[in-house]
Amino acid sequence: MKKRMIRGLGVVVLAVTLLTLAACGSSGPSQADYDSLQERVAGLEKRLTDKEQELDELKATLTATNQSGGNSNTTTVPDDNGPAGKGDSVLITFEQYKEIEIGMTYKEVTEIIGGDGKAISEADDMVVYSYFGSGDTGANAILSFHKGKLMNKAQSGLN
């Protein structure tokens, strides 16, 4: 339907151009003018097709998200911030903390530590986790993930 509208618009533009040239006493557009307009219409049709495909992909993503209860990333993938809202009650050591590097994926970090932390803050593409630590009372580590990558880390009292 939209493609027909674009084509119809192209024909209208061409007709208006012809009428304008005729009113000015011109003999009409040249073949080059006509070809140029046809190329422009073809380009617009291509852009419309591309946008329709993007829209279909977005609709499919939205449908998948709605069917999975609002979370389209139910498994650990490279841009996964982990399972917010739960934790494995693992203890992080200072040695493990030192192994963790900024830029690591959530999966890489949990492989070092041995489990999930407790999500203490969540935003669009960001989750902040707290891990209880081995050491003095209150020993802990805080790890912040943005789009599945470790962005910040802090610790207190780890052994």
Same domain, 98 and 138: yes
CA geometry: angle at 77 spanning 73 and 82, to 5°? Answer: 70
Same domain, 63 and 102: no
CB count within 10 Å of CB 60 equals 10
Domain closes at, from 33, 67, 101: 67
Asked whether residue 86 is assigned to any structural domain, the reply reads: no
CA distance 3 to 49: 8
Number of compact structural domains in the chain: 2
- Please report where in the chains the tokens 């609002």 appear, as a residue: 70
More confident residue, 156 or 40: 156
Domain hosting 109: range is 91-158
Same domain, 101 and 152: yes
If you average pLDDT over residues 110-125, what whole number do you get? 89
pLDDT of residue 87: 60
Same domain, 58 and 24: yes
DSSP 16: H
pTM of the model: 0.48
| Among the listed residues 93, 91, 94, the one whose alpha carbon sits nearest the alpha carbon of residue 117 | 91
Domain closes at, from 10, 34, 67: 67
Residue type, 89: S
Asked whether residue 79 is assigned to any structural domain, the reply reads: no
DSSP notation for 50-66: HHHHHHHHHHHHHHHHH
pLDDT of residue 143: 94
